[in-house]
Structure 1
Amino acid sequence: MTASPLRAGLLGLGAMGARHARVLGSLEGVELVGAADPFGNPRDCPRGVPLLPSLEALLELGIQMCIVAVPTEEHEKAGLRLADAGVPTLIEKPLAVNCAEGSNLVDAFEAAGVVAATGFVERFNPALMNLKQRLGEGEIGDVFQIATSRQGPLPDNVPNVGVVRDLASHDVDLTQWVMESDYQTVSAHTGARPGHGREDFVAAVGRLRNGVIVNHLVNWMTPQKERRVVVNGERGVLAADLLTADLALYAHGHATMWDELATFRGTTEGEIKRYALEKHEPLWAELCAFRDAVLGVPTEIASLAEGLKAIKLTDALLHAADTRSTVNLSE
């Protein structure tokens, strides 16, 4: 840590911005010096942190890092201004409303030589981090399939994008990150409740370049909240609950019958292991990693280029749904 804490600013005090304010207010090595939101509630700011009317007022405080948590359509303008000011920035997902704006942000921060990240907080979930590590160590052997389920009620702060951009963007990013492979093809079906202009649910399938089959089930129409990632391999299944940060291994068993019947019955149930994980808050871990990146400490953050890649993938899902086709991302 530096002798003096990094002066942090927060742009946007909506639902996600308020969470950032809470964590930044107590993050070691960081001082939240101001939050900017013309419609923000001062009660969402930690005690002693001023609520400011604009990004320009925030920049006047001499901030050394900034979190952008305003509506998606405001990301490009805010990000370009912060890149021009030389301020390291974490921009919440989705990075931008379209690929053109996302590319502008990537180019601006690269040209300025300024640290920047996309807010893919699921990468810092203890269960998912441990799952990725175990896959890398070959715990379940060759992987055949990965399935995600992200379901729940419509959030109180209704997003300005549909469920694909708002929620499925998490799943396409974490899938590529966990499997260390890009998508090769995707197809999808979407739907919306009557009178709702944007899609409320999506069922998607795809294939990664490494041959792994992918399934995504995403909606904001169910009363119970679910966030699960299940990876099926030759020696068993790793299942992560992202809400509780729990991880379990369901190993394949050994058949105790004659060979012909064992082949007919298929895989049998074997040992079940539930791992004891050190559970930290994912947002805290994400902001710690971003703080370290700003300080020049080697760490892993989700780059803006990865945020742009997620936009391209969600665009492909929406195009596949609109045209009822399979999109080949190699072309």
Structure 2
Amino acid sequence: MTIKERKTKNKRDKIKVCLIGAGRAGMIHARNFTASIPDAEIAGVSDTDGTEAQRAAAELGAAYWYEDYSEAIMKCNADAVVIATPTKYHCEIAIMAAAHGMHIFCEKPMAMNEEECERMFRAAEENGVILQVGFMRRFDAGFVKAKKMVDEGEIGDVVMIKSLTRGPSTPHEWMYDIKKSNGPLAEVNSHDIDTLRWFSGSEPERIYAVGGNFRCRDAAEQYPDFYDTVLLNIKMKNGVIGCIEGAQGVGYGYDARLEVLGTRGVIKVGSLKEDTVISCSAGSGIHSDAVKSWRNLFEQAYLEEDKFFIQCIQNGSKPAPDGRDGKMAVAVVRAGNESINTGKVIKLVM
């Protein structure tokens, strides 16, 4: 099918999606398209692990599976791709998909650096395809409600925003290499960075960050620059103060929370508790289950962003968050890592 034919498909036809990267995040999206979005279907699956690609294709009812993403893009006749590979491959996959007229959903972090981000959304614009970045918190009911309250002036003018993400598990080995992963600021805190921009309505101006390796000591000798805990302070152009905290390997559960302080009040989003059930007994005291995984906490948000992606394709509307939102998060990560390495406040010029 040519690019022109793909763009002029009957709106009643299902949008065919090619999954590139059949890991945890990729399969969340793929299962949504398969089971919960009637206007979409998985046409093919690509993963460097052929066994995983074949297994995923069988589960999803996809006709084709590949080990090489370029073969998937060229052969599976899809309208769109979901890119859920390690970050260093995002740019090359997105550019190739755009050249073949395929709409792009790219998981965060968008790319390794701002130049790659520019190349990605330039390719999307030149080929007339959608590029949406996977910041699912913009689709979470609690975050959406809080943003509406901020916009309606419920707490007055926003003064300070605190956002944190702490993950229970230690990183995959490739993530220890900051040159390959951009570190926890990218892998863990990209969502927090986007949330800060979203709620402040402004762009970052000055950044200062500190980090340390407290839980992954075995990696310290081979990867001395790796940090599993980070604190990043940001001054936004409109004067709002931002504070972002991230940690990996905390063990106790998945922890994602937001606090927005205004001149007349405060809004808080998120809780460590998995539900509202709390038990208390003489033997064990007070007990409540903690959220175990980001997959549980943001399950509905992932579905809503996937629905939105398909709707944008069908309606020809502009996605949000888009490539420029992805680029700004990447820019903050780069500045944050520079601040950790140099101990300096980094001025972000965009």
Task: Please classify the TM superposition score into its range, dividing by the shorter chain length.
Answer: 0.7 to 0.9
Does 1:290 find its partner at 2:295?
no
Distance 2:211 2:102 in 1: 39
Assess, with a 3 A threshold, how the Cα gap between structure 1 residues 312 and 175 changes in structure 2: closer, same or farther. Answer: same
CA displacement, residues 86-143 of structure 1 (integer Å, 9 cap, x when unaligned): 1111111111112222222122112222111111112111111111111000011111
Distance 1:313 1:109 in 2: 23
Does 1:201 find its partner at 2:265?
no
> What amino acid does structure 1 have at the position aligned with 2:44?
G
Q: 1:179 corresponds to which residue?
A: 200
Does 1:315 find its partner at 2:344?
no
Distance 1:242 1:73 in 2: 32
Distance 1:289 1:159 in 2: 32
Assess, with a 3 A threshold, how the Cα gap between structure 1 residues 156 and 23 changes in structure 2: closer, same or farther. Answer: farther
Does 1:7 find its partner at 2:16?
yes
Distance 1:156 1:202 in 2: 14
Does 1:99 find its partner at 2:109?
no
Q: 1:44 corresponds to which residue?
A: 56
> What amino acid does structure 2 have at the position aligned with 1:234?
T
Structure 2 runs not aligned, ≥5 long? 1-9, 176-180, 276-297
What displacement does 1:51 show? 2.7
Q: 1:53 corresponds to which residue?
A: 67
**Equivalent of 1:108 in 106, 118, 123:** 123
Q: TM-score, normalised by structure 2?
A: 0.79
Distance 1:17 1:66 in 2: 11
> What amino acid does structure 1 have at the position aligned with 2:49?
F
Q: 2:240 corresponds to which residue?
A: 212
CA displacement, residues 124-178 of structure 1 (integer Å, 9 cap, x when unaligned): 1111111111100001111111101211223575563210111121111111012
Q: 1:121 corresponds to which residue?
A: 136
What displacement does 1:235 show? 2.2
Q: Is the 8 A contact 2:42 2:61 kept in 1?
A: no
Assess, with a 3 A threshold, how the Cα gap between structure 1 residues 108 and 157 changes in structure 2: closer, same or farther. Answer: same
Pick which of 296-305 and 195-204 moved more. Answer: 296-305
Q: 1:273 corresponds to which residue?
A: none
**Secondary structure in 2 matching 1:181:** coil
Does 1:90 find its partner at 2:105?
yes
> What amino acid does structure 2 have at the position aligned with 1:23?
N
Assess, with a 3 A threshold, how the Cα gap between structure 1 residues 120 and 159 changes in structure 2: closer, same or farther. Answer: farther
Assess, with a 3 A threshold, how the Cα gap between structure 1 residues 158 and 237 changes in structure 2: closer, same or farther. Answer: farther
**Secondary structure in 1 matching 2:188:** helix
Distance 2:173 2:29 in 1: 19
CA displacement, residues 176-226 of structure 1 (integer Å, 9 cap, x when unaligned): 012211112110101124334222111111111121111111010312221
Q: Is the 8 A contact 2:167 2:250 kept in 1?
A: yes
Q: Is the 8 A contact 1:36 1:58 kept in 2?
A: no
Q: 2:257 corresponds to which residue?
A: 228
Q: Is the 8 A contact 1:75 1:91 kept in 2?
A: yes
Assess, with a 3 A threshold, how the Cα gap between structure 1 residues 58 and 110 changes in structure 2: closer, same or farther. Answer: closer
Assess, with a 3 A threshold, how the Cα gap between structure 1 residues 169 and 57 changes in structure 2: closer, same or farther. Answer: closer
For these two proteins, the number of residue pairs brought into alignment is: 299
> What amino acid does structure 2 have at the position aligned with 1:146?
I
CA displacement, residues 55-104 of structure 1 (integer Å, 9 cap, x when unaligned): 32343221111101111111122111101101111111111112222222
What displacement does 1:47 show? 4.3
Q: TM-score, normalised by structure 1?
A: 0.84
Distance 2:304 2:126 in 1: 28
Q: 1:264 corresponds to which residue?
A: none
**Secondary structure in 2 matching 1:89:** strand
Q: 1:150-165, aligned counterparts within 5 Å?
A: 150-155=165-170, 157=172, 160=175, 161=181, 162-165=183-186
Distance 2:13 2:198 in 1: 34
Assess, with a 3 A threshold, how the Cα gap between structure 1 residues 44 and 295 changes in structure 2: closer, same or farther. Answer: same
> What amino acid does structure 1 have at the position aligned with 2:122?
D
> What amino acid does structure 1 have at the position aligned with 2:257?
R
Q: 2:34 corresponds to which residue?
A: 25
> What amino acid does structure 2 have at the position aligned with 1:38?
T
Distance 1:11 1:44 in 2: 11
**Equivalent of 1:65 in 65, 71, 80:** 80
Q: Is the 8 A contact 2:17 2:43 kept in 1?
A: yes
CA displacement, residues 271-316 of structure 1 (integer Å, 9 cap, x when unaligned): xxxxxxxx97111111111111111254642111211111111111
- Identity score, percent: 25
Structure 1 runs not aligned, ≥5 long? 247-278
Assess, with a 3 A threshold, how the Cα gap between structure 1 residues 222 and 280 changes in structure 2: closer, same or farther. Answer: closer
Q: Is the 8 A contact 2:207 2:234 kept in 1?
A: yes
**Secondary structure in 2 matching 1:235:** coil
Q: 1:168 corresponds to which residue?
A: 189
